[in-house]
Amino acid sequence: MKNLKESRFGKIIKVSGPLVVAENMAGAKMYELVKIGFSKLVGEVIKLEKDCASIQCYEDTSGLTIGDPVLKTGSPLSVQLGPGLFSQIFDGIQRPLKVISELSKNVYVPRGVDVPSLDLQREWQYKPLDIKPGTVVQGGDVIGTVAENDLFKEHRILLPPGAKGKVVEAQPAGNYNVMTPIIEIDENGTIKKYNMSHFWPVRIARPCLEKLPGTEPLLTGERVLDALFPSVLGGTCAIPGAFGCGKTCISQALSKYSNSEAIVYVGCGERGNEMAEVLKDFPQLYTEIKGIKYNIMQRTILVANTSNMPVAAREASIYTGITLAEYIRDMGYNVSMMADSTSRWAEALREISGRLAEMPADSGYPAYLASKLSQFYERAGKVTCLGSPSRKGSVSIVGAVSPPGGDFSDPVTVNTLYNVQVFWGLDKKLAQRTHFPSVNWLTSYSKYENTLENFFNKFDKEFVECKNDIKKLLQEEDDLTEVVQLIGKDSLSEDQKLILEIAKIIKNDFLQQNSFTEYDYTCPLEKTTGMMKCIMTYYHLANKILKEGNPYDNKKSFAYIYSKTKEEFIELTQMKFINPKKSKEEITKLFAGQKKRIEEKFKDIFKFKQMI
Ligand SMILES: Nc1ncnc2c1ncn2[C@@H]1O[C@H](COP(=O)(O)OP(=O)(O)O)[C@@H](O)[C@H]1O
Ligand SMILES: [Mg+2]
């Protein structure tokens, strides 16, 4: 054992793509951060065997040679959490890309570049809470606030989890940078100083007091999702879909318009131009709160690890993203994390596993794929945060999955579905017909529907019934389409014809939503509800006539009803053009008026007084 003497340096014995094997690594721990070679490339220990360590390198390994040193840092891969995170774009290991490009004057990230994640010089206006010397404080306590920007007005400064002791000295309000000590705590006789930022290892979930069930919806602004397959704040959603089905569009729409207080958008292994698009688009988008416009970048953190960046860092980008999200959750906010796409991360795992010569499981993915995915999705949820004052926060995860060829039986999709509660399955056929968002209404599901019933009932007492009716209608339409294909449309009864016509409106004018238009880039819940109510009111009234009249009588045919209510029917197809920027009250009023017109028309024409 003598020759296993611990030193801070190991020596490379093998380089295979992103995998580096080094000897003389005794004392290294799993997931310890190491600096490889003379240019100090960042890597993480992923396997230990005797005194050899297998390391996944988060930077391009070309040029490394056998014998190069590997420095053990003694600490795990961590992110720095504190003021200055928002509006930033980081790479997979939380290096600020803008700072790097200014430093290196190059479009590429130079290897081994070591810059702090947060701006260490910038001073923030710190407002402490009233914490007197002698007070006992603990990890998770809010000790003060910083106005990070106009939109994210209250960046709450937290004591890192694990801290506990009596306050010795607390700094007064003032301008400090993230490295200035602002509080001194006596922790069992040792004095510890804390500043406005702290580090947290990315692979360890940040602790919370208690996990809670989600009760409020994650409103996405996409009608098909909000109405038919809603998720909760703190929920887990998967968007599987083949290339070009609209995964990225949905993830981006959610980042722009969902009701989250903060967004962490992780571009993982997808094309670089998509990330460039995000960078170009987001700064031009504004959200309006109480009549004032705020740039949405102010509540957004981007983590970019595009397809031309090192493969292993995809994993780091996912962990970095979720840790950032948890940190904001711990302040007491609702955060959404988008990961586009988790399949690319799984592919990186497969590549590394292959190079480690591990026994492959399904489709060559490592056997631990399932546990990796579940560890990731488990970090979502609504929680009671640690420390005082008492507060709740949530992390919602929306993971895009890109199964090859759109085959949902691929291991990544299957294992993702074990872990998520909401499945927004994208359909290649719909995408080909340019029916966007191409969410398949027959296969998608949400397990939060029952939980959310309470919320929706309060929002509008007809909401749940309308939603259920729409789902039923779509299902019936699917069955009828089969019949029509077999024996033709003429064989259908009049009420079945009505179902087909209304289903057409639901599909074309309700579920379809072109995110590139002025009127449909988002859809407030009031508009979604109003549209559903008008469509279903028309359906129920028309159906009543058909059911209660004689179906063989010409005058009770759908064609007859249509000829009499043409205006109202056409108005149903125009509802989506209502501007989503209108106030909630105005939208509700508009739809109430339209619903009334439909009811009046049916009453007048069919002299069907008792029916309404
Ligand atoms: N909601 C939408 N509204 C309009 N067009 C869409 C929508 N979703 C997707 N598209 C179209 O489909 C294309 C591919 O979408 P994208 O999100 O990049 O697919 P994926 O990420 O699944 O490969 C987009 O460039 C756009 O033209
Ligand atoms: Mg995409």
Q: Is the CB of 245 under 6 A from ligand 1?
A: yes
**Ligand 1 atom nearest to CA at 514:** 3
Per-residue confidence (pLDDT) for residue 287, from 0 to 100:
75
Domain-located, residue 445? yes
Shared domain check, 483 and 574 = yes
**Ligand 1 atom nearest to CA at 249:** 17
287 CA distance to ligand 1 centroid (A)? Answer: 22
User: Using an 8 Å Cβ cutoff, are 578 and 527 in contact?
Assistant: yes
Per-residue confidence (pLDDT) for residue 1, from 0 to 100:
38
Instruction: Kindly report, residue by residue over 498-519, the tens digit of the pLDDT.
Output: 999 999 999 999 999 999 999 9
| Nearest ligand to the C-alpha atom of residue 341 | 2
Question: Count of domains in the chain?
Answer: 4
Q: CATH number of the domain at 328, please.
A: 3.40.50.300
Domain-located, residue 355? yes
Shared domain check, 487 and 371 = no
Q: Is the CB of 403 under 6 A from ligand 1?
A: no
Domain region containing 305: 210-449
Shared domain check, 308 and 436 = yes
Per-residue confidence (pLDDT) for residue 4, from 0 to 100:
41
Averages of pLDDT over each 10 residues, the chain, 612 residues:
62 94 93 93 93 93 93 94 93 88 79 88 94 92 94 93 93 94 93 95 95 94 96 96 91 90 91 80 77 85 85 92 97 95 93 92 92 95 94 96 91 95 94 94 95 95 96 95 87 90 95 94 95 96 80 68 91 94 94 95 71 45
Q: Is the CB of 353 under 6 A from ligand 1?
A: no
Q: Is the CB of 241 under 6 A from ligand 1?
A: yes
Shared domain check, 539 and 419 = no
Q: CATH number of the domain at 180, please.
A: 2.40.50.100
Shared domain check, 435 and 343 = yes
What residues sit around ligand 2, an ion, with C-beta below 5 angstroms? Answer: 247-248
Domain-located, residue 55? yes
290 CA distance to ligand 2 centroid (A)? Answer: 34
Q: What whole-number distance in Å separates Cα of residue 373 and Cα of residue 362?
A: 15
Per-residue confidence (pLDDT) for residue 137, from 0 to 100:
94
| pTM for this entry | 0.93
| Ligand 1 atom 15: residue of nearest CA | 246
| Ligand 1 atom 11: residue of nearest CA | 246
| Nearest ligand to the C-alpha atom of residue 243 | 1
198 CA distance to ligand 1 centroid (A)? Answer: 39
Shared domain check, 155 and 71 = no
Per-residue confidence (pLDDT) for residue 159, from 0 to 100:
95
Q: CATH number of the domain at 533, please.
A: 1.10.1140.10
Q: Is the CB of 516 under 6 A from ligand 1?
A: yes
| Nearest ligand to the C-alpha atom of residue 520 | 1
279 CA distance to ligand 2 centroid (A)? Answer: 15
Q: Is the CB of 171 under 6 A from ligand 1?
A: no
Q: Is the CB of 15 under 6 A from ligand 1?
A: no
Which residues neighbour 393 within 8 Å (Cβ) at sequence distance 6 or greater?
328, 329, 330, 331, 332, 333, 334, 335, 382, 383, 385
Domain-located, residue 47? yes
Shared domain check, 226 and 175 = no
113 CA distance to ligand 2 centroid (A)? Answer: 29
**Which residues on neighbouring strands pair with residue 439, listed in sequence order?**
426
| Ligand 1 atom 26: residue of nearest CA | 246
Q: What whole-number distance in Å separates Cα of residue 575 and Cα of residue 590?
A: 10
Question: Which ranges in 191-312 belong to alpha helices (H)?
Answer: 223, 247-257, 272-281
What is the 8-class DSSP label of residue 491? G
Domain-located, residue 86? no
218 CA distance to ligand 2 centroid (A)? Answer: 21
Residue 496 parent element (H or E): helix 494-505
Q: CATH number of the domain at 40, please.
A: 2.40.30.20
* Nearest CA-CA partner of 157 in 136, 134, 181: 181
Shared domain check, 530 and 471 = yes
Which residues neighbour 212 within 8 Å (Cβ) at sequence distance 6 or greater?
234, 381, 382, 383, 384, 392
**Ligand 1 atom nearest to CA at 402:** 22
431 CA distance to ligand 1 centroid (A)? Answer: 8
Strands 41-49 and 9-16: unpaired
Per-residue confidence (pLDDT) for residue 489, from 0 to 100:
82
Of the three residues 76, 102, 130, the one that is the final residue of a domain is 76
Q: Is the CB of 437 under 6 A from ligand 1?
A: yes
